[in-house]
Amino acid sequence: MSRLNYQTASFLTSAPTLAQCPADLGAEVAFAGRSNAGKSSAINTLTQQKALARTSKTPGRTQLINFFTLAGGEPRRLVDLPGYGFAKVPEQVKLEWQRHLAEYLRERQSLRGLVLVMDVRHPLTEFDEMMLGWADDKAMPVHILLTKADKLRSGAAKNALQQVRSRLREWEDLVSVQLFSALKRQGLDEARDRLDGWLASD
C-alpha cells in the first residue's frame, strides 16, 4: 500500500451545506468529535502543520465543513466536520448543524471512513453515540482516536482503551480504536496507516 504524504495537505474550501461541498469525486476521510476533544490538534499533528485546522479556545467555533486537499493525482481530502457540544449557540442552530452533518454522512459518495475523536478521559458521549449510529446506518468504517492520552498514566490509558473496545464489541467489524496524543505524537503511525488504508485504496 502506498504511503500518502499528509504534509502536503492544504485548505481547499469551507461549506455550510452538502450542496456547497466540493465535487463528490475521489476519496475523503472525515474527522468528527465534540468541540473540546482535540480534533483540530489531531489533524494538525497528522499533517505536521501547526495551524491547518484552527485550534480555538472557544469550543464550537467551527460551524462549517472544512475541506483540505492532499497533493498528488486522484482527489484525496481530509474533512473537518463541525465541532459539537459546548458551543454557546441556540438549540435551533445545533439542530441545523446536526441536519447538515447527517446529510453529509449519508449522501457523500467519496467518503471512505470517519475518524471519531474522543477525549480518552470522557469517551462515548451522547454525540459520539449519535455519530456511531449514523456510521452504522451507512456501514461506514470508523476509527476512534482516544486523544489526550498523555493526560493519563500508561495503565489508566490502556484501561480506558479496553473499556471503549468492550463497549463497542457489537460494532467491531466496523470500528477500530487507538490511543493518541498530539502533544507526545503518540499513535501517529497507527492513525496514518488507517488513513492510508482508506484513501490510498482507490
- The domain limits of the chain are 6-199
Q: What is the pLDDT of residues 19-62, one digit of tens each?
A: 999 999 999 999 999 878 999 999 999 999 988 987 655 555 55
Q: Which CATH architecture has domain 6-199?
A: 3-Layer(aba) Sandwich (3.40)
Q: How far apart are CA 105 and CA 30, in angstroms?
A: 9
Q: What is the pLDDT of residues 102-147, one digit of tens each?
A: 899 999 999 999 999 999 999 999 889 988 998 999 999 999 999 9
Q: 53 with 80: CB under 8 angstroms?
A: yes
Q: 29 with 70: CB under 8 angstroms?
A: no
Q: How far apart are CA 122 and CA 156, in angstroms?
A: 13
Q: Which three cell numbers stand for residue 32?
A: 468528527
pTM: 0.93
> If you ran DSSP here, which 8-state letter would residue 3 be given?
P
86 compared with 201, residue with greater pLDDT: 201
Q: Where are the beta strands (DSSP E) in the chain?
A: 10-15, 27-33, 65-69, 76-80, 111-119, 142-147, 175-179
Confidence at residue 139, expressed as pLDDT on a 0 to 100 scale: 93
